[in-house]
Structure 1
């Protein structure tokens, strides 16, 4: 019996190509205001949203209020948006730090963005002491820090950065960091520091010359000039880390450190922070 083949069915429409869904992005914000009450500092206003949290460890022996910022997303990648707004009122003392080093991971779809706006009223003290920012291969980060000081306010601010973890053999072949720090006093610029860094610049003599960690620090206080000589005496001049400090105003000290890795950077930075905080550096730095 001859075999009869049924005619093939006409081709149907091409199946729709479904776009790959974007990964959910982290967004978070913290707003904190602190007021002075006699010899103590208290929370006047606090709000945390999304991926940002803040912890307030008890420190009965200290006049300053300490807040530990936490990014619950565990790091930064494309599309992440974090905001921190904090202020120290008249007579208040506020110390802001982080639970651990912040991590900027591979960001193939554009940069993560971090915005921090701080203020300090007359007679207040503000310490901005985040732990290191660690960049991984492929990271893209746009970060802004703006600090507004009233005349008579004191400030200690540091920004340490590690470009790949040397102990883990990490090599940054591609990344982009756009970093801006602006400090104003009475509305006038006091210090503006801008960094635009890519992997192509890491080994240039005018950039990092092969080093993989750095930190910038500014200290605004009446004793800044008195602190300059002892800090300079303690800075490394060669080896795994080098540093320099200078006065840009009678009460304003600026310091820079370069190091071959995060360990050497922290080893050089901690004595400076201990000195300028009078040995009250947040405990999270010791963990």
Structure 2
């Protein structure tokens, strides 16, 4: 869904509101022929809508953050556990927003656990990191040996539609993926004003993203390579059955479109269903 970055207001950095601490814990279980949201606990302004079932037994859940944005001092924690044979898809109704800071840091921690025979799709809409924001984000994914996972993270730095770059602020991103208790992928990335402009960094592109697919095969790698073709600022690799796609773009919606195309190529074999885009993406 295209994001109108120019229309978003920014809180005054000199008068930041009181910080929020919010925690959400979700559990998914297979009951009969469908997956149910068997556990939902929350503290603070972080919750979910009732589950949707647009494609039969797979449970679609939308994360809600009523304040509409995250400011310095806020701390968000999201935990989701998918039990054996359950299938869940988690997304958001709108882009996440991290507003500029007067010096403090906002933190977000996501912990996902997927059991044997279960599948989880973590497909949030893009995260907008406003100029001057300070974000510390961590993603920890625990996969059982025969778990299935598709997930992405898309960042939009600054507000290019309003002529704003990312001359101030920083986003620290940490990914950790374990399979059967063994570390298979770890990445720590710091995006600041220097990385935003440098050739070795984003080279002025405002949108960047990473997508993971497990388990993946060399045939799927070849299919994604064919999808990319000669298109610049797109890449894909396969490491121990983990497919990793990366992209840069001038617009977050175009990058999301690329990831959706990859999703369309791999979902049938990984999840066992053809793509069923959440209806909220079209609103």
TM-score with structure 1 setting the length: 0.86
Q: Which residue of 57, 62, 65 maps to 2:56?
A: 62
The answer to which structure, 1 or 2, has the higher relative contact order (CA under 8 A, 6+ apart) is 2
- Count residues with an aligned counterpart: 264
Counterparts of 1:123-162 in structure 2, within 5 Å, are 123-162=117-156
Tell me, in whole angstroms, the C-alpha distance in 2 between the residues paired with 1:206 and 1:275: 30
Counterparts of 1:8-87 in structure 2, within 5 Å, are 23-87=17-81
Q: Which residue of 226, 245, 249 maps to 1:255?
A: 245
Tell me, in whole angstroms, the C-alpha distance in 1 between the residues paired with 2:198 and 2:15: 40
Question: Is 1:187 aligned to residue 160 of structure 2?
Answer: no
Q: Which residue of 254, 257, 264 maps to 1:267?
A: 257
Change in CA separation of 1:135 and 1:126 when aligned onto 2, cut-off 3 Å:
same
Higher helix share: 2
Tell me, in whole angstroms, the C-alpha distance in 1 between the residues paired with 2:94 and 2:158: 16
TM-score with structure 2 setting the length: 0.88
Higher-Rg structure is 1
Partner of 1:88: 82
Partner of 1:218: 212
Of residues 163-172 and 132-141 in structure 1, the stretch that sits farther from structure 2 once superposed is 163-172
Q: Secondary structure at the match of 2:102?
A: coil
> How far did 1:275 drift?
3.0
Unaligned runs of 5+ in 1: 1-19
> How far did 1:62 drift?
2.7
Partner of 1:281: 277
Change in CA separation of 1:280 and 1:193 when aligned onto 2, cut-off 3 Å:
farther
Of residues 120-129 and 58-67 in structure 1, the stretch that sits farther from structure 2 once superposed is 58-67
Q: Secondary structure at the match of 1:99?
A: coil
Tell me, in whole angstroms, the C-alpha distance in 2 between the residues paired with 1:197 and 1:214: 10
Tell me, in whole angstroms, the C-alpha distance in 2 between the residues paired with 1:23 and 1:263: 30
CA contact (8 A) 2:144 2:180 kept: yes
